[in-house]
Structure 1
Amino acid sequence: MQPEKKMKLRRNLIFSSVAALLALNFIIGARVYSDSVKSRRDRLSVYQSLELFSQVLNMIHREYVDADKVAYRDLIYSALRGMVGSLDPHSEFLTPEDFKDLRDDTEGSFGGLGLVVGIRDGFLTVIAPMENTPGARAGIMPGDRIIKIEGESTEKMTLQEAVHRLRGKPGTKVTITIQRPSTGMVRELTLTREVIEVELVRDINGKKEFPLIDRNVGYVRISQFGEKTARELRAAIRKLKDNGMRGMILDLRWNPGGLLDQAVEVASVFVPKGTVVVSTRGRTLFQNSVRRASGPGDLLVTQDGERMPLVVLVNLGSASASEIVAGCLQDLGRAVILGEKTFGKGSVQSVLPLPDGSALKLTTAYYYTPNKRCIHREGIVPDVVVPIDEDTERYLLLKRTPGGLDSLPENERVRAEMVEDIQLSRAVDLVKGLLRFQERVVRANSG
């Protein structure tokens, strides 16, 4: 190539590089300028909004007709409740009194009705009644709405306020009005509060003996995810294996959830160590996390190293930690999920203390299954859908509660005693079918 052409080519290359750099610099500069302008506008908007808030606050304080309702702290707390409550049903501003109640809930015992509640579609809704509690014995079911507490509408109550009113000294009474959306039935119940103590892991008879329910099929019911749930589950599986278990049913129906750590530990009983169980994702990196299985790995294996079939039962009363376990085992192909769609409570609430003793309970992330499915509002759809009608569900709940059927009239009690748990029956059939399939595969491979 001639020297002139080389020089011209080099000049063109240098010119193109400089032009590209200038263009990139212009784009970055424009973006920075745009962000800066946007930031200034946002700050200006905040200042203007705060000025408006301050004006309204002072106008109310100065001119509202009832002077005893306009203390600055009360007005500001009310405004904060409204602001945070508008975000979602699980976020709320907690006054110092509410924050103390929340701490008491996690640190001590309390009197209550045994109802796990949440806000759904704007209504105070029962997620699940705990077994052998006043709410369960009264026949309250998942999805029922509590529309009044002591004659007062719950329409504008925060979740924390409603929970506070339902709880109280053991032995005291509280009157609630229940509405069942599917039938429109409305009834008023007066219940006596009790100290709520829940057995976490039980067998088919509500005890801790763990017999096989059909020759070689084991059954374990988890009522809630408390501090000892995973430990008790491992002990139950050891008993069942000693009795000759070759396949298992894990019943998470009417389990409203509990501790995240226990959900991860329970899932760890059935999957290899290091497997992703659940992840959380929020707006900040601090809220993003991945929880993996720990421990020795899958305990449901035979002496030959074959994985035992596992069926997990779920329904509308299965929420939060229950959905984490079911979603994990479903995504990993470790279990067949059978029953009805779960509740869909898959959000993370962080409690952020504030200087005056109040706190902000704020949704900061969502839970995701190993296959990145969002649990919140979506729930877990079973692999095998087996619906049951409301009467059957109510009778099954009462049968699980010692003395529960005694609350029924005699003719209805006889009918309830004859009700079949078709979801459990289908689960047993499914485990037996999977065992037969495994046997055929083994025979084919050995032949």
Structure 2
Amino acid sequence: MSGSHPHLRLQLALGLVFGAVLATGATAGAWGSEGRPPALSVSADAAARHWVEHSGDRWAAYYSPQQYAVMTEALDGRYAGVGLWVVRSPSGVVTVSQVRGDGPAARASVRAGERLLAVDGRKVTGLPVTEVVALLRGGSPVAGTDVSLTLQRGKQLRTVTLRRQLLDAEDVVVDHPVTGITRIVVSAFTTGTGDQVEAAVQQSAADRGRGILLDLRGNSGGLLEESVESASSLLDGGPVGSYRDDGRTYPLTAEPGGNTGLPVVVLVDGGTMSAAELLTGALQDRGRAVVVGSRTFGKGAVQQPDPLPGGAVVERTVGHYRTPDGHDLDGTGITPDVPVPPADGAPAAERTAMTVLNDLAGLDSQ
């Protein structure tokens, strides 16, 4: 990554992912439960938790050794899980929202739309998504362990036992909703994300595509260097943002040679966070993309992971990043150029984004 602070990768990778992903818990099977930190003294554990609770740092957090191991594993784009995603309704009903085709859930014929009633016998209705995810992930985040799911499809109840396996995160999905439009859905910035985004942009240009729809909805962050590399594929050098720590500012700079000809629309929502917000802000500030959707989450703080005896970790805020125009997004987020109220639903946001992109493509072709 051009112009980066020597410790920036670790700070931002763990800070942005730890705080953001546990806050939303969108991907089932991706994150572990806290469990009991082995070999950690009671006094150190208690002191760490007390500090987190009373520090006044809204992003401060304590993570057990299991959570730390799972999250650092996830940054490499792999996790031990069952290959499904869940959502929770306002009334607390937990439903399978997506099933990946090569995972244990798919082999057991679990389908999107089924209601998830229990995990290993524990009822999940009413639980936060993060707790459901922790149950699916298990206390020992390793492949080869079993988990039992109680599901309801219509009036039919069934229980299936799935064996967790090591899965690729599939954080970048590329398709073509209409001829000439390349949609790049990025759910997290893990190792290799920047290369995949760059490849998709280059292929679209080679195919004489009409535009790029960059879908960052629900993207809770990740490796900042992958976010900067993704920006580099759509910018010809120049600023992506900056990081301020201990009174010093470190520039984040795109590599030269990115595509600047294809029209770009970035689709965001309240789950767009951290490194995803930095990418969005860079493209918006540089006039490279039109941002469509609802206001983003607003996490511009950077956390430093501090190890404790026994392998646990406490995070504390050590700095903030800003967009090229100097906007500190922490607590404010990004306001879309074309707002779509969340109440209108995801399909409305997608339709609006496609309309805007088609208009840009038409103007660009004249």
TM-score range, shorter chain: 0.5 to 0.7
- TM-score, structure 1 as length reference: 0.54
The answer to whether the 8 Å contact 1:338/1:382 transfers is yes
CA distance in 1, matches of 2:312, 2:70: 11
Code of the residue aligned with 1:299 in structure 2: it is: N
Deviation of 1:231 after TM superposition, in Å, equals 1.7
Is residue 327 from structure 1 mapped to residue 281 from structure 2 by the alignment? yes
When residues 268 and 104 of structure 1 are mapped into structure 2, their CA distance, relative to the original with a 3 A threshold, is: closer
In the alignment, structure 1 residue 265 sits paired with structure 2 residue 243 = no
| Corresponding residue number in structure 2 for 1:289 | 250
Shift of 1:266: 0.7
Structure with higher strand content: 2
User: 2:197 matched to 1:233?
Assistant: yes
8 A contact 1:110–1:170 mirrored in 2: no
Matches for 1:196-207 after TM superposition, within 5 Å:
196-204=167-175
Secondary structure of residue in 1 paired with 2:41: helix
Is the counterpart of residue 428 in structure 1 residue 327 in structure 2?
A: no
Considering only CA atoms, is the larger Rg found in Structure 1 or Structure 2?
1
Aligned counterparts of 2:259 and 2:40: Cα–Cα separation in 1: 59
How far apart, in 1, do the equivalents of 2:78 and 2:276 lie?
A: 23
**Deviation at 1:115?**
8.8
Partner of 2:241: 278
1:316 and 1:200 mapped to 2: Cα distance?
18
The Cα shift of 1:167 comes to: 4.8
Matched with 2:218 is 254
Distance 1:434 1:112 in 2: 40
Q: Using the alignment, how far apart are the partners of 1:323 and 1:365 within structure 2?
A: 16
Q: CA deviation at 1:387?
A: 3.3
The TM-score normalised by the length of structure 2 is 0.65
> 2:46 aligned with 1:78, yes or no?
yes
Residues 234-266 of structure 1: CA deviation (Å, up to 9, x unaligned): 222232223221322212223222210010011
- How far apart in 1 are the matches of 2:280 and 2:62? 31
Tell me: CA distance 1:98–1:225, structure 2 relative to 1, closer, same or farther (3 Å). closer
Q: CA deviation at 1:322?
A: 1.4
CA distance in 2, matches of 1:336, 1:428: 11
* Partner AA of 2:305 in structure 1: V
- In structure 2, do the counterparts of structure 1 residues 80 and 377 end up closer, same or farther at CA, with 3 Å as the change threshold? same
CA distance change for structure 1 residues 285 and 82 in 2, over 3 Å: closer, same or farther? same
Which is helix-richer, 1 or 2? 1
> Which residue number in structure 1 is paired with residue 329 of structure 2?
375
Matches of 1:195 and 1:98, distance apart in 2:
16
How far apart are residue 200 of structure 1 and its match? 3.2
Q: Secondary structure at the match of 1:203?
A: strand
Q: How does 1:166-185 map to 2 (within 5 A)?
A: 167=141, 169-170=143-144, 172-173=146-147
Aligned residue pair count:
297
For residue 91 of structure 1, the aligned residue among 49, 60, 66 is 60
The corresponding residue for 1:299 is: 259
Q: Post-superposition shift, 1:99?
A: 4.9
Taking a change above 3 Å as real, the CA distance of residues 378 and 217 of structure 1, as seen in their structure-2 partners, is same
Distance 2:76 2:174 in 1: 28
The separation in 1 between residues aligned to 2:177 and 2:69, in whole angstroms, is: 45
- Identify if the C-alpha distance between structure 1 residues 171 and 89 changes in structure 2 by more than 3 Å, giving closer, same or farther: farther
What SS does structure 1 have at the residue aligned with 2:291? strand
d(CA) in 2 for partners of 1:222 and 1:108?
12
Q: Is the contact made by 1:271 and 1:293 (CA closer than 8 Å) also made in structure 2?
A: yes
Distance in 2, matches of 1:102 and 1:348, equals: 16
Aligned residue in 1 for 2:178 = 213
Q: CA RMSD in A?
A: 4.4
8 Å contact from structure 1 (residues 354, 360) kept in 2: yes
In structure 2, the CA distance between the partners of 1:72 and 1:110, relative to structure 1 (3 Å rule), is: closer
Q: Is the 8 A contact 1:130 1:198 kept in 2?
A: no
> Structure 2: how far apart are the matches of 1:85 and 1:111?
30
Paired amino acid for 1:377: G
2:305 pairs with 351, 366, 370, which one?
351
DSSP 3-state at the match of 1:250: strand
Change in 2 beyond 3 A, CA 1:346/1:194: farther
Q: 1:101 to 1:314 in 2, by over 3 A?
A: closer
**Greater relative contact order (CA < 8 Å, ≥ 6 in sequence):** 2
% identical equivalent positions: 29
Contact 1:229 1:266 (8 Å CA) reproduced: yes
2:185 maps to amino acid: R
| Residue 422 of structure 1, CA deviation | 3.0
Unaligned runs of 5+ in 2: 1-38, 87-93, 115-120, 151-158
Q: Which residue of 1 aligns with 2:291?
A: 337
Which residue identity lines up with residue 315 of structure 1 in the other structure? D
| Equivalent AA in structure 1 for residue 359 of structure 2 | G
Deviations 1:424-444 (A, max 9, x none): 32222212222333455xxxx
Question: Does the aligned pair in 1 maintain the 2:83–2:167 contact within 8 Å?
Answer: yes
Q: Indicate the SS of the match to 1:85.
A: helix
